[in-house]
Every structure is written in structure tokens, then in C-alpha cells.
Amino acid sequence: MLDSTVSDQTEAFLEAFGKALEDGDIAAATEMFLDDCYWRDLVSFTWNIKTVEGKDQVADMLRHQLGTTKPRGWALAEGEMPTEEDGVTTAWITFETDVARGYGLIRLKEGKIWTLLTTMVELKGHEEPKGFDRPLGAKHGAGKHRTTWAEERAREEAELGYTTQPYCLIIGGGQGGIALGARLRQLGVPTIIVEKNERPGDSWRNRYKSLCLHDPVWYDHLPYIKFPENWPVFSPKDKIGDWLEMYTKVMELNYWTRTTAKSAEFDEASGTWTVVVDRDGEEVVLRPTQLVMATGMSGKARMPDFPGMDTFKGDQHHSSKHPGPDPYKGKKAVVIGSNNSAHDICAALWEGDVDVTMVQRSSTHIVRSDTLMDVGLGALYSEEAVANGVTTEKADLIFASLPYAILHEFQIPAYEEMKRRDAEFYEGLEKAGFWLDWGDDGSGLFMKYLRRGSGYYIDIGASQLIIDGEIKLKRGQVTEVVEDGVILDDGTKLEADLIVYATGYNSMNGWVADLMGQDKADQLGKVWGLGSDTTKDPGPWEGEQRNMWKPTQVPNLWMHGGNLHQSRHYSQFLSLQIKARMEGIPTPVYGLQEVHHLS
């Protein structure tokens, strides 16, 4: 509902809230929140990715941060009108702090704040040169010995990392490293991305040949350059690889291919890292101030250690190394696991005339891709959403405005509707012996991903093959690998010429241990998960993704990753944190995450 009265009331509320903050009246500001309230801040107040829950936590954050943040100018965002539905008023807002401009989303209930999202948009005096402020490019007029853009770019590439040092080094050149590199480039932060592969995008190209994105195109844009309007809804891996390679070139990223980081040490005295890399056979020592691990949300491939693996006479490998079905035509394959990769690989093997069996070791959440788009993502990420004025950036903020503590409450009805719509589909899977789940609390895919990052499949066809018996299915645990197959805990033997271990990945923490030593990995603590006390996500409650996109207990070390959506969205806030430190802007961090060791 659009109503001038709602708009007037919201403006009056924001004016009063802003005055309380400017006056330093923490008691008055806190009283404007409901008892059951959530303030999610992305850098602007806390220099952190932090959610405070309840009035006591709101008051504590303000006691620590209000004096340095100095917020002001709270207002409705230009061109936006508040809406009111079911007793909740929702409004886009703008504000400023002493050093930055902010944007946010507020939800009022019973005349008080229920949820508040505040985000940092830009640092004052360090705005990105874009839009009306874009660089001129051409050098009009005359001048002797002027250099061209190509010559200046070549000089930068030759000098950075050798005669000049990067302020930031990003280890990992997938979508996460590329998105962050683009943001830092636009902010004028000298940055190098190092990647072991031959070309940008090879992290996608090198996966099994049938791989494609299971998320729709509207969800997957990178910063600054959106996919064209004729881009397919679900992108094949090689197409994504080509896009990432193009992107690194046109965004002028300093991207070192065929480069492996060998060691990294932090010098507390100088506040800089010493990172030794092998650049195509040449040892190079880099000394960045900030180090970002963008090696993928999932971390290192998790290979099981089943008895007898060394006796197997066929091929066996982790799903991340699977070449596709071509070498195995007419043979027998066993795929251990039932996640996204397992389903994709099984379907591709079946298409390639391979006799394939999936071994399901634990329950798996399945959601049909079409239904997910319609019920789960369509309101935010779809052609209809774009037509209704929901830009990618707006969609990101709407999603971010729902605190993780209550996000599952919004998800449960959507997944109940999916279950109802596709009841026949799920009945068919269960008849085939498939072990289904909907998450510990019925909140489905997104919460599973946020809590532990596994245990689901977005169906693009493999499920019907299971229902029809084309992909064979066995439930159970592998007890032994023998020379011609695997043995399950019920005594069943599955003959195999090929075993694919779709057994997931370990924490990103493992990459830190490899590069910097176990002591630094222990100092960092867990990476990913909310501390929700659900399956594979033990407490204590953190309320945000652990150690992602924010300061950590290891000085000047940052963790960055996730899917394309998260790489795009959170790269904005990580880049602003790094830029502020480069410019010497005070960044008093509130709520630095405590260390929770891997269990």
C-alpha cells in the first residue's frame, strides 16, 4: 500500500531516530526498537559484518560506536516511497556517517524498529570514478612523448609486484577473487590476484563437462558488468569461464595466471605480509599489507579414506577432478554422494552410456529448479522482478535485510509450497528409495547452504532419472573398496570400473593451514556457518557467516568466497574495509568474532 500518511510517519520517525543518535541519547534511540529487534550492519557502523539482536545488544553497539560513527542525515531514499503490509512498514533509507555515505532498509512494526539494515555505500573523498565521475579517457590537446593507455597499462603490469608492491594480494582467481579485484581496482587499491590455472575462468572450465550453474542468471551478475539480456538462464561452465576471462581483461585486473602461493608470513612490526609465489617457474616475493584468501567457500576437496582404496584396479577420483563420461562408455560407475555434483555427474555418465549407481550416505534436500525460481527466487531475481523495478542491487539488499536469526521463518512457507506443488515428484523419489530432507527446521535450500554449504541438489533432470531407475540408487555407508568395486554396510557389492567421490569439501581454514601454518589456522578459527546448532553447524551462535568478508583474529587476513551472488554482494563491503585501511581512515571494529576451533 502506498500512502502519504505512511510516508509522513516514516519520515517523522527517521527524523526522531536521527536526532537521538546525533544527540548521543542512546537510551532514547534504543527505546525506538522493539524488544525483539535486529540491526544488521554491513560496515557502516561496526566496521564489521555484524547483526545485533535485541535492545541490549543495540545499546551496547551504540555505546561503543556512536562517538566515532557520528551518523546523521537519516531520510527516505530519493524516489522511494514506504510500503505498509500486514502491520509492517518497509522503507528504503539513506544516511551518512563521519566518513561514509550509507543506504539501508528499515521495517517498522507497532511504531518501532523491527529490522534495520545499514550498509556502507562509499567513503567520502574516495568515491568510485563512475557515472558522472567516470574518467575522461581521451587526452585532448597536444603534448610531447605522451604515453598511450596501452603503454601505461603495460608499465603497470611490468612494475606491480616487482618494483612496486601491491597493497592487497588476493590468493585465488575464481569469481570471488575476480569480483573483489574489480571493486578494489575501481577504488584505486593496487592489487594482484594470483591463480594457479592457465587462464582466468579455468576453475570453471576444468570441472566435469556437463557442469552448469544451477542458479538463474539474474542472481549471478558480477559487479559493474551484468550478463547481456540474451544470456541463458542457466550458464554452461565453459561459457562462465569465457565470461570471467573477458571480465578480468576489460576490468584491467592485475591477474597472474600459472602462479602458486607457496608461503605467507605476517610481520607484526611492519604490518605487512611476506608471500612467496611461484609465477610460472619464477619465484617472486610479494609484500602486501592486506592478504585475501579467495580460494573458494568450500575449501579443499574432502577425499575419504576407505579401507582398500589402494587395491582398486579402475579409475577413482574426487568429483572436482572428474573429466566427464567419455572415457567410461560401456563401463560401470559408482558415485559416492548425493549432492549437486553427484547428481550432475550421474546424469552425465548415464547420458554417456555408462551404467551408473549413486550411493546415498545421508539425507539430501531436493528442490526442482523451475519451482525454486518461481517460489523461492522469482520475487527478487527474475525477469519479472527486473520489470517491477527490483534491480540486482535492490534484490541483494532485500535479501541481506533479513537477519539470519529469523531468515528461516521466511523460508519455511516457501518450501512448504514447493513440497505441495511437487508432491508427485517427491513421492516418486521416495518410492525409488531416495532419502529426502528439508533441513532441520524445514527451511530448505538457502539455510542448508548458509549453515553448512552441502546436502542439497537443485534438480535440473537427474532426479527423474533416479525415479525412472535409469540412475541406480543404493542407500548406505561404504565399508570397503575392493579391486573391482565397493562394499556397503549391508554387505552389498557394487561392481565398478570407476569410483567418483562426490564427498564434498573441507573448510577454507585448510588453505590457511597449508600456506601459513596450523597456528595461523587455529588463530583464525572456523570459516563458514552461522553457529545455528543444526546438523554440521555447531554453536555458539554467531549470527553471520563465520570469518567471511570481515576482520578476523589474524591481522590483515580476510576470507572471501561463496557463490556468484555472494562474491558480487560482499565484495563491495570487503573492498571498502580494505580501502579505508589503505587511506588511514580509523576503522574501530565492533564485535570481532571470537575463535571457534574446527570440530
Domain boundary among 484, 501, 518: 501
Cα–Cα distance measured from residue 199 to residue 197, given in angstroms and rounded to the nearest whole number: 6
- On the question of pLDDT at 1 being above 50, the answer is no
- On the question of pLDDT at 141 being above 90, the answer is no
Evaluate whether 175 touches 245 at the Cβ level (below 8 Å). Answer: no
Q: Tell me which residue of 109, 67, 74 sits closest to 94, measured CA to CA.
A: 74
The answer to whether position 597 is within a domain reads no
Query: Count of CB atoms within 10 A of residue 251's CB?
Result: 19
The answer to whether position 142 is within a domain reads no
Domain boundary among 83, 105, 123: 123
In a shared domain, residues 285 and 327: no
pLDDT value of position 136: 82
Question: Per-residue pLDDT tens for 196-205?
Answer: 999 999 989 9
If you search the block for the grid coordinates 541463458, which residue do you land on? 232
In a shared domain, residues 576 and 477: no
DSSP state letters, 137-188: -S--S--TTPPPHHHHHHHHHHHBTTTB--SEEEE--SHHHHHHHHHHHHTT
Q: Please report, for the domain that includes residue 356, its CATH number.
A: 3.50.50.60
All residues at 6 or more sequence positions from 484 whose CB lies less than 8 Å from its CB, including other chains = 312, 313, 314, 495, 496
The answer to whether position 38 is within a domain reads yes
Cα–Cα distance measured from residue 57 to residue 550, given in angstroms and rounded to the nearest whole number: 19
- The residues facing 217 across adjacent strands are none
The answer to whether position 117 is within a domain reads yes
Q: Tell me which residue of 440, 240, 454, 235 sits closest to 340, measured CA to CA.
A: 454
In a shared domain, residues 273 and 229: yes
Q: Which of 94-103, 344-353, 383-392, 466-475 has the lowest mean pLDDT?
A: 383-392
> Is the previous residue joined to 228 through a cis bond, with omega within 30 degrees of 0?
no
What separation in angstroms does the CA of 157 have from each of 134, 174, 193, 351, 554? 22, 20, 12, 45, 30
Judged by DSSP in three states, 38 sits in strand
Q: Which of 45-49, 531-535, 581-585 has the lowest mean pLDDT?
A: 531-535
- pTM of the full structure: 0.95
Question: Per-residue pLDDT tens for 418-438?
Answer: 999 999 999 999 999 999 999
**What percent of the chain clears pLDDT 90, i.e. is strictly above it?**
82
The answer to whether position 323 is within a domain reads yes
In a shared domain, residues 481 and 354: yes
The answer to whether position 587 is within a domain reads no
pLDDT value of position 299: 63
Cα–Cα distance measured from residue 456 to residue 435, given in angstroms and rounded to the nearest whole number: 11
Count Cβ neighbours within 10 Å for each residue of 27-42 and write b for 16 or more, e otherwise: eebbebbbeebbbbbb
Query: Count of CB atoms within 10 A of residue 73's CB?
Result: 14
Mean pLDDT for the stretch of residues 185-208? 94
- On the question of pLDDT at 439 being above 70, the answer is yes
Evaluate whether 544 touches 552 at the Cβ level (below 8 Å). Answer: no
In a shared domain, residues 333 and 210: no
In a shared domain, residues 345 and 417: yes
Mean pLDDT for the stretch of residues 69-80? 96
- On the question of pLDDT at 594 being above 50, the answer is yes
pLDDT value of position 599: 43
Question: Per-residue pLDDT tens for 225-268?
Answer: 999 999 999 999 999 999 999 999 999 999 999 999 999 999 99
pLDDT, averaged across the chain: 94
In a shared domain, residues 400 and 313: yes
Q: Tell me which residue of 34, 7, 15 sits closest to 91, measured CA to CA.
A: 7
In a shared domain, residues 220 and 333: no
Domain boundary among 123, 142, 161: 123
Cα–Cα distance measured from residue 173 to residue 203, given in angstroms and rounded to the nearest whole number: 8
H or E segment and range at residue 95: strand 88-96
Domain that holds residue 517: 150-300+506-528+554-582
**Cell triple for residue 77?**
531514499
| Position 318, amino acid | H
pLDDT band at 20 (very low <50, low <70, confident <90, very high): very high
Question: Per-residue pLDDT tens for 264-287?
Answer: 999 999 999 999 999 999 999 999
The answer to whether position 131 is within a domain reads no
Cα–Cα distance measured from residue 272 to residue 152, given in angstroms and rounded to the nearest whole number: 27
Report the domain count for the chain. 3
The answer to whether position 543 is within a domain reads no
In a shared domain, residues 488 and 512: no
In a shared domain, residues 321 and 188: no
In a shared domain, residues 237 and 329: no
In a shared domain, residues 162 and 98: no
